[in-house]
Structure 1
Amino acid sequence: MRYDPTLEALARIERKLDLVMQHLEIRDSAPPQPDPLADVRELARRGKTIQAIKAYRERTGVGLKEAKEAVERLDT
C-alpha cells in the first residue's frame, strides 16, 4: 500500500507545528484554520459512517477503501 498524504495527516502536522511555534514564542499573523475534517468527525461520532466516508472522499479524493480506513481511524 503506497503512502497517500491526507487532510488528516496534514492536520496532525499543523497541530505539531503550532506547538513548536508556541514553544518558540513565534507569532503567526494568519488566522487559525478550521479543522477540515470537523464534519467528517461529527458524522462518524454520530454513527453515520457511510456519510462520513462519502464526505471524506469528497475532501481528499481518495478511493473508497482508503476513505473507509481513514474514517475508522479518526479520533472522534
Structure 2
Amino acid sequence: MDIAAILLLVGVLIAVGTIERKVDRADRRTARVERKLDLVIEHLGIDTDMVGPDLDRVRALLRDGKKIPAVKAYREATGAGLKEAKDEVDRIESTMR
C-alpha cells in the first residue's frame, strides 16, 4: 500500500511539472505575440488610446497623482489583470508627461 501511494504521488508530481512547463511555454508565446503586435501597432502609428474603452477617468486620476485608483479604474473599464493594468497605466502616464 505504501508503494502504491508513493507511486501515485510521484505520478501526480510529474503531471503537475508537465502542466507547469506547458503553461509557462504558452505564457512566453503570448508575450512574444503581444510584443510583435505592439511593434505592428507602433509601426502603423495607431493610437491605442483611441481604440477601446474610454479612459478619461484613468487619466484624471493620474493627473491627480492617484496611481493605484487609476489602475483599479483601468481594470474596471477593461477587465484586465493587475499586471496588465499597471503596465498600461504606466504607459498612459508616460505619454501624459
* TM-score exceeds 0.5: yes
**1:46 Cα shift?**
1.0
Q: Distance in 2 between matches of 1:42 and 1:10?
A: 14
1:2-34 superposed Cα distances (whole Å, 9 cap, x missing partner): 539xxx7261x59xxxxxxxxxxxxxxxxxxxx
Normalized per residue, which structure has more helix? 2
Picking from 33, 51, 59, the partner of 2:69 is 51
**Which segments of 5 or more consecutive residues in structure 1 lack a partner in the other structure?**
15-34
TM-score, normalised relative to structure 1: 0.57
**Which segments of 5 or more consecutive residues in structure 2 lack a partner in the other structure?**
1-30, 38-46
Matched, 1:41 2:80: no
User: Which runs of structure 1 show a deviation greater than 3 angstroms over 4 or more consecutive aligned residues?
Assistant: none
SS at match of 1:62: coil
Q: State the percentage of identical aligned residues.
A: 46
CA RMSD of superposed structures (Å):
2.7
- Aligned residue pairs total 52
Structure number with higher relative contact order (C-alpha < 8 Å, ≥ 6 residues apart)? 1
**1:41 Cα shift?**
0.3
TM-score, normalised relative to structure 2: 0.45
